[in-house]
A and B are shown apart, each in its own frame.
Chain A
Amino acid sequence: MAAVTPLRPVSGLKRATALGGGGSAPAATPKAADPTLGVLIFIGSEVMLFAGLISAFLVSSASAPFWPPANQPRLPVAITGLNTGLLVLSGFTMWTVVRSLRQHDKTGAMRWMGATIVLGALFLAIQGSEWAGLIRFGLTMTSSLYGAMFYLIVGAHALHLAVAVAVLLFVATRVWRGRYEVDFRGVVACSVYWSFVVILWPIIYALVYFS
């Protein structure tokens, strides 16, 4: 009988499995697939969603005579730059969560998880107060195409981040109850998604705030 090798086609997948493996690779068909692979595929769609939003933004700004329009407030570049720093920092704390879990350090994982959630929530809060100010100065979704595009893209990102924070809160309770001591592939998948939301932001920041 010919020897049959089980297939591990995507190299990144192999790494993801090894990260969360905590044991032997399945010899036959795995019963539960690696959630990281599903998240990576989902991120493919998400990238295209934001590509669509960004191209809509570029088309609209390119066809406008003045961008931003003369009667609309300017965006707060500095405070948002600071906020960007917070979010990038949360990307690093999220990685540290996975590293702690790999070293079976539950307390460390909880601590870094908490830091990530706080940083994410802080980012949202600062952005929210920024929006409140902008609305006071007359930049709304209906005040101009500029305002509509601003709230659409920045809001789409904020919505993704808010969902990611909610998922992290849920995952944190499971870390606390010790669900990820052997198999923490679920947390790896979360960190991959979190990284996507973090990496996306500087692109949007550069595009929207400096156009």
Chain B
Amino acid sequence: MAETKPQSAPSTDAHEKMGFWRQYIFSVDHKVIGKQYLFLGLFMGYVGVFLSYVFRWQLAWPGTAVPIWGKVTAPQYYELVTMHGTIMVFFVAMPVLLGAFGNFLIPLMVGARDMAFPRLNMASFWTILVGSVLLLISFFVPGGASHAGWTNYVPLSDASKYLPGNYWGGNLWLIALAIDFASVLMGGINFLTTAIAMRAPGMTIWRMPLFVWQELVASVLFMLSVGPLIAGVVMLLFDRMVGTGFFLPEKGADPLLWQHLFWFFGHPEVYVVAMPGLGIVQEILPVFARKSIFGYRMIVWAVIVAGILSFTVWAHHMFVSGMNPVLAEPFSATTIAISIPFAVMLFAMIATLWRGQITFSTPMLFALGALANFLLGGVTGIPLGTNASDIYLHDTYFVIAHFHNTLVPTAVIAGFGGIYYWFPKMFGRMMNETLGKLHFVFTWVGFNMVFVPLFLIGLGGGQRRIYMSSVYTFYKPLQPLHVIATIGLLVIIVGQIPFLLNFFLSMFRGAKAPANPWHANTLEWATDSPPPHENFHTIPTVVRGPYEYSVPGMEQDWAPQAAAVDAGAAQG
């Protein structure tokens, strides 16, 4: 923490030769760490998809043997849904959007040579790796991984009498989560410090790309909301391992306290994931529409307002929990209010497309797909945030369809768009467009095949977290919709084959990428692909905002933020 190098040392091309381990494994370079996060996130993502494949098969054809897995037992079913949610939110969305893109892009976009605290950055990656390994180990401990649902409600998750045999699974779940939070905390400190204190000359805050803004607000949200949940996790660990009783009614405690602590974090967490995803979309849209983003400052203010409001909405998850019903009214009001800044952002993004010269390249397709589905996710949030309709819809598949339509467009669809868009910068090679488009069609069509039917199931009263739906007569008419949804998931899975081929083959065989293949303005395109050690040959001086495309009277239809192209960067 206390190390500061003398200021006279930043000789630009001082490549000290490093061994393989220092350069690629225990690296303090934000670019390498970003890629490490990306690989971890992708791996955990496909683990999460596999889990969903098993329980989705069980939902469509209850009681039949799942190929590769076999028959699903009831405890296995709850283990699968719990771990799917936990992995996807905490070990995929956060590592990919904050860890991978945030790490790789923030220093490049603000014109810094690295993160503010490189060793803390490395520690952040290795911490989350330990957390991921512990979480995966929990599948193999006696009793299996946690069965308590990804929200881990007490008292079900609290005393072993409620979930007998799930002792170590539940403990490891809590420990892995605490480690994951510590990791993201370290990342957040770096993101904020870097963007506040290490910007290139001329990079005023109103010239920062929207992706940086979104990452910053997301980091602030995370850092200010995670404390109470860390407290809750520690209390729950004490309850389970020491026998305290922080959440047990028989010891005089209030079990709703856990829900408050969880959702005080859990709701801002939704935006921690959504904002960087929207940031990626906001970077891609202007480039492939060759138009300035519509309402740059308005978007920034909308993000800030949404960030502030996000701390006032958490109890809308608890309308049926038995909390004081008087509280439901103000929380409904704030929840409806928070859709306003997001609507502002969405309209600004749509207006960016208006009269643009749109190229339907793979990143753009993913960005547009994300935009469309995020709209659907946002609109369906209103009936859930309003207590009158939520009482009917609560704990149905409508809720599941809603939050998948907010998280998947931002974390997965926009995330894939980000991979296609920044792959040339990350690996110095281009990805294949045909395979990319194939990947998009399968992923996006498959995604909607899964989740549009789930909205209908939820409206029809289909409850979530039911292991054997075939035993309920009310579920009979809804069952075909589950079959469509599961076929949709299989479509998504097939669609990952072109992606994985494309990703790994392009990394080694793809066409060499120029410095600025998309003719984009932001600073990461002003340096080599991939960027050299310490990012820039000379730190660029920023002379304009990030989205000046098709400015009348200019020779080319883009105007880079940097005053001059970096001396060593190949012309693109």
Contacts and interface: CB of A to CB of B under 8 A. Distances in A.
Interface of A: 1-2, 4, 6-7, 9-10, 13, 23-24, 26-35, 37-39, 41-42, 44-53, 55-56, 59-60, 63-64, 141-142, 144-145, 148-149, 152, 156, 167, 171, 174, 179-180, 182-183, 185-187, 189-190
Given A42-B189, A141-B242, A48 B3 contact: no
Nearest to A25: B7
22 contacts: A1-B563, A4-B201, A7-B204, A24-B7, A26-B7, A29-B10, A33-B117, A38-B1, A38-B120, A41-B223, A42-B189, A44-B220, A45-B185, A47-B227, A49-B228, A49-B231, A52-B228, A63-B252, A152-B244, A156-B234, A182-B6, A186-B1
Interface of B: 1-7, 9-10, 111-113, 116-117, 120, 185, 188-190, 192-194, 196-205, 220, 223-232, 234-235, 238, 242-246, 251-254, 257, 260-261, 264, 539, 541-543, 563
B10 A41 contact: no
A63 B227 CA distance: 23
Contacts of A148: 238, 244-246
Contacts of B230: 49, 52
B231 A13 contact: no
Contacts of B116: 32-33, 37-38
A186 B3 contact: yes
A71 to B, nearest CB: 13
B196 A60 contact: no
B198 A29 contact: yes
A142 B253 contact: no
A182 B6 CA distance: 9
Given A7-B203, A37-B196, A174-B2, A60 B257 contact: yes
B204 A52 contact: no
B117 A41 contact: no
A30 B7 contact: yes
Given A30-B197, A148-B244, A171-B2, A48 B252 contact: no
A30 B5 CA distance: 10
Contacts of B10: 28-29, 31
Contact of A41 (B111, B188, B242, B541): B188
Nearest to B188: A41
A44 B224 contact: yes
B227 A45 contact: yes
Contacts of B244: 141-142, 145, 148, 152
